[in-house]
Amino acid sequence: MSYHFTDTHCHFDFPPFVDDLENSLTRAAQAGVTRIIIPAIDASRFELVLALAAAHSPLYAALGLHPIVIEKHNEHSLAQLAALLARKPKKLVAVGEIGLDLYREDPQFDQQQALLDEQLKLAKRYDLPVILHSRRTHDILAQHLKRHNLPRTGVVHGFAGSLQQAERFIQLGYKIGVGGTITYPRASKTRDVMARLPLSALLLETDAPDMPLNGFQGQPNRPEQAARVFESLCELRSESPAEIADTLAYNTQKLFLTS
């Protein structure tokens, strides 16, 4: 049986995809990946992401200021984001990629948190869900999300934290992004978490061209690999593949594509 998938997190505005659009879309569709959400990472990419979504029916846009490039963002960036959200472009489905990151040296964490708070306010104002990045910051991120209490919530993407951290996000109404990490046998903690969480809390993603799957190390990740992530998830779960596919599709539709 063939299934249809949404890659809820793919940086399609970067190479190799943006340089080879039609072939990249065809390859994804052949694997059953019929919709792709593109989260922007800084203001210089907003118009490109919106243009891609407008020009290609499988593509949808999210706009946000990513913490890993905190030095690129300023008050003007936030103003650009607010102005575009106010326009409510037709295929804009989320504020993202936003969040917190303590991985790099000199993370400018105070600025990260202030920027996150401003973007959460914008998501609330424009009634949009959020696509969240969190690295070594799950507990702090959960505090911010609880404080802002967004009506549309969102997804914590590429999750690799503990079961208890995932459950806290779910209690706050958030989904958990399932990506290529689960294809690695050594990622036993993350695989166990994805096996035990409620299926109603999960979304499928690749983070392409980042986070290559097991067996594809050193190659750019691609949106069609969402089908392989699905296969790995099916191996971990007790539900049937049909039920998993249907529930993932329902979760995605309800969070991002229901106005």
pLDDT for residue 190: 98
Q: Calculate ∠ Cα 257-192-213, nearest 5°.
A: 65
Beta strands per DSSP E along 116-165: 130-135, 154-156
Closest to 5 (Cα-Cα) out of 257, 176, 250: 250
At 190, list the tokens: 């993350």
pLDDT for residue 259: 52
Other CB atoms within 10 Å distance of the CB of residue 200: 12
Q: 154-156 and 33-39 as β-strands: parallel, antiparallel, unpaired?
A: unpaired
Instruction: Phi first, then psi: give them for residue 10, nearest 5 degrees.
Output: -140, 125
Closest to 93 (Cα-Cα) out of 48, 131, 148, 144: 131
Angular region, 38: left φ>0, alpha ψ -120 to 50, beta rest: beta
C-alpha span between 2 and 4 (Å, rounded): 7
Taking only the tens of pLDDT, the chain with its 259 residues reads 789 999 999 999 999 999 999 999 999 999 999 999 999 999 999 999 999 999 999 999 999 999 999 999 999 999 999 999 999 999 999 999 999 999 989 999 999 999 999 999 999 999 999 999 999 999 999 999 999 999 999 999 999 999 999 999 999 999 999 999 999 999 999 999 999 999 999 999 999 999 999 999 999 999 999 999 999 999 999 999 999 999 999 999 999 987 5
pLDDT for residue 258: 73
Q: Which domains does the chain carry? A: 5-256 (3.20.20.140)
